[in-house]
Amino acid sequence: MWGILVSLVIGALAGWLAGIIMKRGMSLLACIIVGVIGGFLGSWVFSLLGLSGSGSFLGQLLVGTLGAVLLLFILSLFRRKKK
């Protein structure tokens, strides 16, 4: 139970930080979703590079934030441009 709660808190923080970096205003739910998905994405990318940053709280936050930034960047490529 604690693991899920900690993952949600880290996900929310990572999503919030990614929203600030990418200049996106997001709700708390969107921050959690982006942060959790970003955590999985970041862990996958880090493992492909042979890196591990998920040992400590700060490491998990860094990996989640970088993954969430990557996710928001990829999503921005598919957004329609407003005229």
Q: What is the mean pLDDT of the chain?
A: 83
Answer whether residue 7 shows pLDDT above 60. Answer: yes
What is the phi/psi pair of residue 73, to 5°? -65, -45
Write the DSSP symbol of residue 82.
P
Specify the pLDDT at position 25. 82
Over residues 51-80, the pLDDT tens digits come to 776 678 888 888 889 999 999 998 888 877
Alpha helices in 1-83 (DSSP H): 2-21, 28-48, 57-78
